[in-house]
């Protein structure tokens, strides 16, 4: 395929022959050739020159055709390469998405396992901490028992004239020793039990002592060493009732006769909320014994 502009330029080249004056047309050339013998040679030259140009233009056209074919071929190859590239990219994208999904799934699984391990670890740490606390408590108790035992030995060797430590299974608090019953007896039997232990029913003389006893007995009726069986209210160890700590429940003591069991109410006890009430002394309530340290027993 030869562009029209190329052909036009070829024709123009034909019209411009060597030796011809600028501005001559083809018809002038023909007229000049048929005019006489002197112009035969230039005409042949012109003809020869025209054939070369024609061959040249044909060759050029062929070359352009070849170039066009090569370009078309390369274009086709490029399109095929592009298609292959697109397909490869598509495959790559699909496989990458699949891998990302697989990684995400694996990541979730690993995260769940990590959380499980963390919770197990926390549980074990808690258990270990509880065991440690329990062990410390037992150690403290063991040391306390040992001290108490050695103290008891010293008391026995020295005829027990002075109490410097609490008996085994008694609890020490602010210069006193306490023993908490786990069964119920009447007030009189409870008082007798404590006396046999060289102690007395607990005498509560402060809010701290009230809370201590309450804490170790729990919410349950508990006899204390306060009675008005033989006159006015008195503490069993002689502590002044009028001047000392009190924690009566509202409208108590009321010496109530309404129970119909004979008599009123002459013995004091902790009610489940810790406040005091007077009740019939023969009720089987739990009790607490107390003995003071560093005191001749
Ligand atoms: Ca006391
Ligand atoms: Ca009462």
Domain boundaries, the chain: 171-295
- CB within 5 A of ion ligand 1: which residues? 203
- pTM reported for the whole predicted model: 0.52
Ligand 2 centre and the CA of 257: distance in Å? 9
- Percentage of the chain modeled with pLDDT above 90: 64
**Segment 168-218, tens digit of pLDDT:** 889 999 999 999 999 999 999 999 999 999 999 999 999 999 999 999 999
> Residue 236 CA: which ligand is closest?
1
CB 200 within 8 A of CB 225: yes
Q: Are 204 and 224 in contact (CB under 8 A)?
A: yes
- Our measurement of the distance from residue 83's CA atom to the centroid of its chain's CA atoms, rounded to an integer in Å, reads 51
- How far apart (Å, rounded) are the C-alpha atoms in residues 249 and 278? 9
Mean pLDDT of 229-244: 96
Distance 203 CA to ligand 1 centre (A): 4
Q: Which ligand is nearest to the CA of 200?
A: 1
Q: Which two tokens stand for residue 68?
A: 């066009």
Q: How many angstroms is it from 224 CA to the middle of ligand 1?
A: 10
- The ligand placed nearest to the CA atom of residue 228 is 2
Name the CATH superfamily for 171-295.
Mannose-Binding Protein A, subunit A (3.10.100.10)
Is residue 190 classed exposed, middle or buried when 0-12, 13-18 and 19+ CB atoms within 10 A define those classes? buried
Band the pLDDT of 24: cuts 50, 70, 90: very low
Average pLDDT on 66-92 reads 92
Å from CA of 210 to ligand 2 middle: 19
Q: How far is the CA of 238 from the centre of ligand 2 (A)?
A: 22
Asked whether the predicted pLDDT for residue 240 surpasses 50, the reply is yes
Q: What is the reported pLDDT for 39? A: 53
Question: Of 49-53, 95-99, 275-279, which has the strongest mean pLDDT?
Answer: 275-279
């Amino acid at each position: 395929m030869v562009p029209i502009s190329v052909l036009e330029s070829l024709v123009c080249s034909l019209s411009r022959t060597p030796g011809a004056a600028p501005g001559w047309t083809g018809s002038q050339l023909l007229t000049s050739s048929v005019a006489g013998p002197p112009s035969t040679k230039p005409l042949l030259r012109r003809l020869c020159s025209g054939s070369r140009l024609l061959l040249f233009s044909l060759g050029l056209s062929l070359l352009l055709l070849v170039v066009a074919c090569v370009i078309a071929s390369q274009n086709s190859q490029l399109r095929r390469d592009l298609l292959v590239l697109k397909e490869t990219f598509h495959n790559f994208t699909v496989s990458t998405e699949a891998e990302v999904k697989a990684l995400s799934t694996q990541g979730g699984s690993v995260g769940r396992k990590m959380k499980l391990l963390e919770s197990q670890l926390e549980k074990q740490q808690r258990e270990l901490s509880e065991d440690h606390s329990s062990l410390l408590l037992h150690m403290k108790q063991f040391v306390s028992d040992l001290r108490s035992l050695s103290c008891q030995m010293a008391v026995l060797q020295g005829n027990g004239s002075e109490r410097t430590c609490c008996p085994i299974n008694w609890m020490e608090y602010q210069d006193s020793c306490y023993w908490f019953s786990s069964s119920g007896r009447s007030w009189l039997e409870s008082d007798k039990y404590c006396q046999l232990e060289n102690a007395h029913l607990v005498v509560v003389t402060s809010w701290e002592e009230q809370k201590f006893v309450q804490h170790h007995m729990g919410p349950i009726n508990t006899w204390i060493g306060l009675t008005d069986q033989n006159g006015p209210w008195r503490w069993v160890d002689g502590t002044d009732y009028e001047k000392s700590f009190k924690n009566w429940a509202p409208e108590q003591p009321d010496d109530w006769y309404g129970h119909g069991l004979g008599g009123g109410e002459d013995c004091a006890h902790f009610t489940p909320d810790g406040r005091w009430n007077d009740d019939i002394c023969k009720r089987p309530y739990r009790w607490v014994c107390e003995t003071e340290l560093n005191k001749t027993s």
